[in-house]
Homo-oligomer: A and B are copies of this chain.
Amino acid sequence: MARQDRAIRTRRSILEAAARVFGERGYASATVEQILNRAGVTRGALYFHFSSKEEVALGVLEAQMPIDRLPERSSKLQKLVDHGMVMAYRLQHDPLVQAGVSLALDQGARELDRNSAFRAWSDQLEQILTEARGQGELLPHIDVTDTAELLTGAFSGVQAMSQASCNRADLGHRVSVLLRHVLPSISTPAMLAALDLSPERGERVFQEYRESSPEAATTVTRS
């Protein structure tokens, strides 16, 4: 294994250990020592990657950010759909993504900017909606900021409800329901008819991303 690969894996194993420790104890009462013990790495290895517990937590929060290089689509509204569906799939399968979302909801983590994930998501979706507008895919009255923030907030609540009721087993269905309720209000009818909003789309697009993208190996999902 090349040195760089090993460093990437060590970083990932520290983040996964931290995710479990934060999940069990809450951010406020977790310590660097507990993370070291759980990860089975030396203090030097941890401080090579992270300067503090807060920085480890920022790494965990980072895991839930939108993926930069999802496959391009000629329809930008399909790209919008793909972002939501892939996030649903990752939330079901990647413990680090799950931990990032829990940490963003942990009211004891006061020194963290827990708002950053909301902002990153609504900025990303607003950019895609603006591209969709440029291509004539949107109905004329749409305010892209309102729509982007609505989708971000609604997704967050839908995943929380899915977690509470069945540990996210039905999240693909629920996100598909969200999109089927919102897209008809923002998309031109011709574009709407061409969109794939099926619950299985997240897994297919995520596999496509993993096969095409060199950095996808570091955002592996366990199956």
Contact = CB atoms under 8 A, between A and B. Distances in A.
A15 to B, nearest CB: 19
Interface stretch (A3-11, A71-79, A173-181, A200-208): A173-181
Interface residues of A, number: 35
A185 B189 CA distance: 12
A114 B164 contact: yes
Secondary structure of the A contact surface, majority rule: helix
Contact of A150 (B118, B149, B181, B186): B181
A26 to B, nearest CB: 7
A146 B175 CA distance: 11
Interface in A96-149: 102, 105-108, 114-115, 118, 146-147, 149
Interface stretch (A54-62, A151-159, A215-223): A151-159
A114 B159 CA distance: 15
Contacts of A118: 161, 164-165
Nearest to A119: B165
